[in-house]
Chains A and B, each alone.
Chain A
Amino acid sequence: MALATTDDWGPNQQRPIRSLLSGDLRLNVDPVLLLTILAISGMGFVVLYSAVGESGSLLLRQAVRCAAGLCAFLVMAQIPPRYLRVWSPWLFCGVFGLLLLVMIDGEVGKGAQRWLSLGIVSFQPSELMKLAVPLMVAWFMHDRPLPPTLSQLSVLLMIVLVPAMLIARQPDLGTALLVVAAGGLTILLTGISKRMIGGVTLAGLICAPIAWQFMLDYQRARVLTFLNPESDPLGAGYNIIQSKIAIGSGGVFGKGWLNGTQAHLEFLPERSTDFIFAVMAEEFGLMGVLLLLAGYLVLVGRGLYIAIDAQDTFTRLLAGSLSLTFFVYVFVNAGMVSGLLPIVGVPLPLVSAGGTSMVTLMAGFGMLAAISGHRKLLAQ
C-alpha cells in the first residue's frame, strides 16, 4: 500500500471518502504527522524493550496496540471534517450516556468504575470524552461569532465540567483533569477576553478547596506527597525520589541501552507505563530526551500550523485544541516524572505501554490529518 501524500490527489478534487467508496484507494495522510508519530513510537519500542526486562511477549502486545492506533489514524484521516462536525453532538451525547452507564453498571478495573465491557474488548468511555468534549465545544461555536458571549461561555463550561465531574467521581482524577484541559484549551482558543479568563481562573481557585473535600484519601495523599516528597521516603514519596535518581544519574549521554540500573534493579516503579520517561532519561541521557521532546514539538507545531491554516471555526478550534492537549499530556507526564508536577496517572503519549489512550490519541491525529487534507482540497 503506497502512502500517498495529499499533493497526489491532483485535479480531480475527489473527496477522500468518495475515493474510498469508488474503490480508488488513495489515502489521505499528513506525512509530517505520520512520520513523526512513527519515529516517536519507534523510540518508544526501544525504550519499552528495556523497561519490560527484555520480554518479547509484552513488546508484541504493545505492537498490537500500535497497529490498532494506526488503523484509528488512517480511518479518521479519511473522514471529511464537516461529517465530523455533524456527528459531534451525537458523539458527545453517546459518550455521555456511556459514562452514565459505567457509573451504574461498570466493570471494575484497577480500583475504579471506569470500564465498559463490550464482549471481548472493554474500554473506558472517559477516554473517549477527551475527544468528545473538544468536538462538542467546537461544534457549539461553529456557527456563532467569536468570541463567545458570557452566556455562551457558561454553556461551554457546562459541556466541559459536567462530564469531568462524572469522571472524577469514578474516581479517575487524572482523566478528569485532562478532559478539563482539552475542553478548557478549546474555550481559550475561541478568543474569550482576558477578563473572562481571569474570572474563570478566579472561580477555579475558589472551587479548589471544595474539590479538595470531594477528593479521595489517596488523591489527597498524592497532592500532599508532591508538595513534600521527602516527608514520606518509605511510602508515597518513594516513586518520585527513585524517578529523580534515574533521570539525574543518566547524565548527558545516559548509561546506555539496557544498562539502566534504576530500571533493571526494579527501583523504578511503573517503569513500563507512567514512568517510562525516566527509563529513557536514564539510559539515553539528556540527548535522548531532548530528541524525544523535539519530536513532540514537531507534532504540536504541525498541529498548530494546521489549525491556523484551517478554513472554518470548527476545524480551527478542533485542530488547535487537539495539538495543545497533546502537549499537555507530554508536559504532565514528563513534569510528574521529573518532579515538577504531582503524580497523576497520565501515560507518556505514544511511548508508554498499554493504555486505551493510544487509540484516542491516534484518532485525534487522524482528525488533524483530515483537517489538513481537506484544506488542501479546498485550496485547489
Chain B
Amino acid sequence: MREQQLFQSRVIACAIAVLLLTGALVGRLVQLQVVDTRHFAELSEGNRIRTAPLSPTRGLIFDRNGLLVAENVPTWQLVAVPEEIDDLDGVLNELQQLDLLAGADREELMRLVRSRHGFERVTLGNLSESQAARFAVRRHRFPGIDIQEGLVRYYPFGNAVAHAVGYVGSISTDDLETIDRGEYAATSQIGKTGIERRYESILHGAVGYRQQEVNAQGRVLLDPVAAEAGDSQRGLLMRWPTPGKHLILSFDMRLQLAGARAMQTLRGAAVAIDPRNGDLLALVSTPAFDPNRFAAGLSRDDFVALSTDPDNPLFNRALAGRYPPGSTIKPMLGLAALHHESVIPHEDHYCGGHFSLPGSTHRYRDWRPEGHGPMNLHSAIVESCDVYFYQLAVELGIDNLGMSLKAFGFGSETGLDISGEVAGLVPSREWKRQRFSNPSDQVWFPGETVIAGIGQGYTQVTPLQLAHAAAALAARGKRFRPRLLVATEDAVGGGYEQIEPVELAAVPVDDESHWQIVQDAMIGVTNEPRGSGRTAMLGTPYTVAGKTGTAQVFSVGQDEEYDEETVDERLRDHGLYLAFAPAEAPEIAVAVVVENGGGGARSAAPVARAILDAWFETENDGAGYD
C-alpha cells in the first residue's frame, strides 16, 4: 500500500534522526566525560565555591522637604533553606511552640517554602531580640533553619502616612507569580500598597551575588562580604547589589501631620494639592493603621481584625471613598451656567425656602427653611442657596451639567500615581439607560436634574477628585495630573532625576472673567458676613477662597425634619469643604470630607484650616473653633 510505504519511509527517516541525535548526545558526553574529564575533575575538586545572592537595600522615601518617611532598620530574621528541611510540618510546629512564628499563616508559609527551591532562602518572619536569643540556643535542633541579620522597613510617622506611602510585607506566593525570582532571591519584603507597590521596581534595586568558599561538609570558610579588608579573597567573584533608588514625594509632612491630627477622631479624608503643578501636598485618610505592623509581619488574626473593623481602617477613603459632593460643586456649576449662558450673573432670583418644577407640587427644600430672599450668582454661592441652584440646574440641563463636571475631572480617575483610585460617577441620561434594566427606571426624571444641582442624587466623587477640582478652580481651569512622586535619587553617586508635571485638558471657558466671578464668590464664602464657611477661617493672615458642602446620607421625607440628635450616627450628613489659598495667587488647594460629621462648615472646614495653617506656618490661635 502506498500510504503504508510513505509512513514507513517517514518512520525510518525519523529513526535515523533519533540515532543521529543520540549520537550527538553521546559525542557531547564523551567530550565532557572522556576528553575534558581531567579539566572538569579539577574544577570539581576545587569546587568549594558556592554562589549566594545578596539582597539590595531598598530605596528610602522622603517627603518634599527631605524628611525621611520610610527607612530600613536592622532586625533578626528567621529563614528556612527548603532543600535542607525534611519534615517541614514538624519543624514549623516546633517553631510555633517556641513562639517564634507569632500568628503567621501556617498554610501560606508551607506553600511559600515549598514553592521556593535550591539556594533560595525563605524568610519565615522577623524576630525580636529575645526571640532571636531563644532560637540561637536551640539552633542545633533545627537543620535548615537559621537566623540572619536583615533590614526591615520602618515608617517613623506610622499611621499618618499609611494611606499615602502604603507598606511592604513578606513576599507571598501570589507575589512570586509576578516577580523575577532571581532578582528577589535574597529579598524578603515587597511593596504591597501605595507608593511602595507602585514604585516597587525603582525601590527594589538589583540583586547581587557573592561566591563563598565552603569545605567538604558545605560549611562556609571564606565569604568575601565578611572578609576583613586586606584578607585574601582568593579570587572569589562578587557582584555587589545595586541599591534601590530613593523616592522624593510631593507631600509635606507638616501638612500630612496637621491633617492627620485634625482628623484623629474623625472618619474621612483630606487631600491637598499644589494647583501650579498637581503635587499632592497631603493625602490623609482616617481611621488609618500602622504600616509598621505589616512590615514587621502581621499575624493572620490581626489582619482579620483590621480588615473586619467596622471603621475600615485599611480602606483608602481619599482615593476610593465615594461621596455625594453636596454644595461643594456649586462654584463649578456656576461656571458652567456662565459658560452656557444659562444665568445672568447679577440678576436676582427670589429664594423662598423651596423650589418646585413647573406643573408639580413637589417641594425641593432649601437648607434654610425661611429662604435666602433675593439671590444672584455671587450671593447664592456665598450663602450656598439651594433654590438658586435648583433653578440653575434645570436651566442648564443634566447633559450640560454632567459635561461641565467631567471637565473638572469628576467621573473618571484623576491618574494619581498610586493604585486604588475609583472613577466616581457623573450621571447622565445615557448612564441611567445602561445602569437600569427595568424600562421604567431607565427614564431620566426632571427631579433628578434638580437635586443634581446641589450635588445630591446619583453623583459620587472621591476626596481626591474634589481636591483636584478645587485646584482647577484655583488655577483658573488649568489642570495637572495629581502626583506623589516628584523625583528619584540614586542611593550612591547622587544621580537625581526630576519628574515633570503632566498637564491635562483645561476646563473650557468662553470668557476669562467668569473665573473672577466664581473665585470672588468663593472668597465671599469665607470672608463675607453671610458666608457659609466663615467661622473656620477667621483671622487667617492669608485669603482663603472656599466652599462648604453637606451631603445627605439618607433622604428625609417630604414632611419630615432632619434632626441630628435623633438620627443614627452612621446616617448623619457628611461634611465637605474645599478651599484654596492665597486667593490672589493660589499655592494650595484642599478638599476635606468628614463622614457623618454634619455640616461641612463645622466638621470639615477646621481640618482644611489646620492644613492651610501648616502650609502658611501660622500658629493657630483657636479662632474659628467653637
Q: Do A and B come from one complex?
A: yes
Which residues of A does B touch, CB under 8 Å?
A: 55, 57, 108-113, 145-147, 185, 188-189, 191, 217-218, 221, 233-236, 238, 242, 244-252, 261-262, 265-267, 269-270, 281, 285-286, 289-290, 293, 297, 300-301, 304, 307-308, 313, 316-317, 320, 324, 327, 331, 334-335, 338-340
From B15, B87, B115, residue with most partner A Cβ within 10 Å: B15
A-chain residues with CB within 8 Å of residue B50 when the two chains form the complex: 265-267
Q: Is the CB of B40 within 8 A of A247?
A: yes
Q: In the assembled complex, how far is the CB of residue B116 from the closest CB belonging to chain A, in whole angstroms?
A: 10
Instruction: Enumerate B475-490 residues with CB–CB distance to A below 8 Å.
Output: none
Name the residue on B nearest A108 (C-beta): B177
Task: Determine which of A233, A249, A293, A307 lies in contact with B37 in the assembled complex, contact meaning CB atoms within 8 Å.
Answer: A249
CA distance A235 to B207 in the complex (A): 10
Q: Is the CB of A218 within 8 A of B180?
A: yes
Q: Is the CB of A340 within 8 A of B218?
A: no
Stretch binding the partner chain, chosen from B17-25, B362-370, B567-575: B17-25
Name the residue on A nearest B173 (C-beta): A108
Instruction: Enumerate B6-28 residues with CB–CB distance to A below 8 Å.
Output: 6-11, 14-15, 18, 21-22, 24-26, 28
Q: Is the CB of B37 within 8 A of A251?
A: yes
Answer yes or no: B315 CB below 8 A from chain A CBs. no
Known contacts A218-B181, A261-B216: A248-B3 contact under CB 8 Å: no
CA distance A266 to B36 in the complex (A): 22
Instruction: Enumerate B310-365 residues with CB–CB distance to A below 8 Å.
Output: none
Name the residue on B nearest A340 (C-beta): B28
A-chain residues with CB within 8 Å of residue B132 when the two chains form the complex: none
Q: Is the CB of B118 within 8 A of A338?
A: no
A-chain residues with CB within 8 Å of residue B22 when the two chains form the complex: 293, 297, 331
Task: Determine which of B10, B47, B182 lies in contact with A267 in the assembled complex, contact meaning CB atoms within 8 Å.
Answer: B47
Q: Is the CB of A191 within 8 A of B21?
A: no
Task: Determine which of A146, A246, A304, A335 lies in contact with B15 in the assembled complex, contact meaning CB atoms within 8 Å.
Answer: A304
**Secondary structure of the A contact surface, majority rule:** helix
Write 26 A-B pairs (CB below 8 A) sorted by A numbering. A108-B177, A188-B10, A188-B14, A191-B9, A218-B180, A234-B237, A242-B47, A244-B40, A247-B32, A248-B32, A248-B33, A248-B44, A249-B44, A250-B33, A250-B37, A261-B216, A286-B34, A293-B26, A304-B11, A307-B11, A317-B7, A320-B7, A324-B14, A331-B25, A338-B32, A340-B24
A-chain residues with CB within 8 Å of residue B30 when the two chains form the complex: 286
Q: Which 5 A-B pairs have the closest CB atoms?
A: A248-B40, A249-B44, A234-B209, A191-B6, A248-B32
Task: Determine which of A189, A242, A261, A290 lies in contact with B14 in the assembled complex, contact meaning CB atoms within 8 Å.
Answer: A189
Name the residue on A nearest B176 (C-beta): A111
CA distance A111 to B120 in the complex (A): 15
Known contacts A248-B37, A293-B22, A304-B14: A262-B29 contact under CB 8 Å: no
Instruction: Enumerate B24-61 residues with CB–CB distance to A below 8 Å.
Output: 24-26, 28-30, 32-34, 36-37, 39-41, 43-45, 47, 50-51
Answer yes or no: B538 CB below 8 A from chain A CBs. no
B-chain residues with CB within 8 Å of residue A188 when the two chains form the complex: 10, 14
Name the residue on A nearest B27 (C-beta): A340
Q: Is the CB of A147 within 8 A of B6?
A: yes
Name the residue on B nearest A253 (C-beta): B33
Q: Is the CB of B7 within 8 A of A338?
A: no
Answer yes or no: B277 CB below 8 A from chain A CBs. no
Q: In the assembled complex, how far is the CB of residue B151 from the closest CB belonging to chain A, in whole angstroms?
A: 22
Task: Determine which of A55, A269, A331 lies in contact with B118 in the assembled complex, contact meaning CB atoms within 8 Å.
Answer: A269
Answer yes or no: B117 CB below 8 A from chain A CBs. yes
B-chain residues with CB within 8 Å of residue A147 when the two chains form the complex: 6
From A246, A248, A307, A308, residue with most partner B Cβ within 10 Å: A248
Q: Is the CB of B11 within 8 A of A286?
A: no
Name the residue on B nearest A301 (C-beta): B15
Answer yes or no: B189 CB below 8 A from chain A CBs. no
Q: Is the CB of A247 within 8 A of B33?
A: yes
